């Protein structure tokens, strides 16, 4: 039981779209990730997807609408909703998903989500 | 589905130790709260307790140890662990607990957790 500094954890990450687990909450992975560019459209069949922008700005594309999500803003994508995060400039995000959930919604194409 | 601005939500809160629900994630309440002073020692029998300090600094007292938790830091209190948050100066916190979980761990003494 110790405080976890988000900036220190993010400083250890040099890749984009590569979530790293920094804590656990009731079977969920608490992760930090850097976004830049465009992630593929995907959905999570059995879980909501939680995003909090810590630095910078991202866009959440849904099918038919897009939302800018800025520093200090949360966006929760409900279970089953197809979405695509993207960011013109590098953006830092706190992400929450159930432990083991693939970031693409599909194990075959997912990142490994190492612990920091 | 819309971005939720944490600062805007916090600006609507004038009381301390009074969590307000701003979003939902898989049956959890995502809340913002202002801390100042000292909360009673308590525990949550069936859930972890997630804190992210958004502004200011709090102290998490456990029995036998204390941790300063500063802006941009997370502290997760594991299920069943007795704890007491406190803050000398006002501090703003993002809190995650299962929907309906009393903030004191006990319905008889808990805040109502209204939605913002």
Probe site for chain B from A11, A76, A87 (most B CB atoms < 10 A): A76
- Check whether A70 has a pLDDT greater than 90: yes
C-beta atoms of B3 and A62 within 8 A: no
- Check whether B103 has a pLDDT greater than 90: no
Helices in chain B by DSSP H: which ranges?
Answer: 6-10
Separation in Å, CA B63 to CA A50, B66, B67, B114: 32, 8, 11, 30
- Tell which B residues from 40 to 99 touch A, by Cβ distance under 8 Å: 47-48, 50, 52, 54, 60, 62, 65, 67-70, 72-79, 81, 94, 96, 98
C-beta atoms of A72 and B7 within 8 A: yes
Burial (CB count <10 Å: 0-12, 13-18, 19+), residue A13: middle
Q: Which of A5, A77, A81 sits opposite B73 (nearest CB)?
A: A5
Q: Which of B24, B74, B79 sits opposite A23 (nearest CB)?
A: B74
CATH superfamily membership of B6-103: Jelly Rolls (2.60.120.10)
DSSP helix/strand/coil, B39:
coil
From the candidate CATH numbers 2.60.120.10, 3.40.109.10, 3.30.70.560, 3.40.50.2020, the one assigned to the domain spanning A19-100? 2.60.120.10
Distance of alpha carbon B9 from its chain centroid, rounded? Answer: 14
Chain B environment of A50 (Cβ under 8 Å): 25, 30
Rounded to two decimals, the pTM is 0.96
C-beta atoms of A1 and B62 within 8 A: yes
B93/B52 Cα distance (integer angstroms): 6
- B110/B94: higher pLDDT: B94
pLDDT of residue A114: 86
- Region A74-87: mean pLDDT is 97
B41-84 pLDDT tens trace: 999 999 999 999 999 999 999 988 999 999 999 999 999 999 99
The residue of chain B with its CA nearest to that of A49 is B25
- A115/B36: higher pLDDT: B36
Chain B environment of A79 (Cβ under 8 Å): 26
């Amino acid at each position: 039981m110790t405080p976890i500094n988000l900036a220190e954890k993010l400083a250890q990450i040099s890749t984009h779209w590569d979530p790293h687990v920094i804590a656990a909450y009731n079977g969920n992975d608490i992760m930090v990730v850097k976004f830049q560019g465009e992630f593929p459209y995907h959905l999570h069949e059995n879980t909501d997807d939680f995003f909090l922008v810590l630095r910078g700005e991202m866009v959440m594309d849904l099918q038919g609408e897009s939302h800018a999500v800025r520093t200090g803003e949360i966006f929760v994508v409900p279970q089953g909703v197809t979405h695509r995060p993207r960011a013109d400039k590098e953006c830092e995000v706190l992400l929450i998903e159930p432990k083991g959930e693939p970031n693409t919604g599909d194990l075959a194409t997912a990142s490994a989500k190492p612990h920091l």
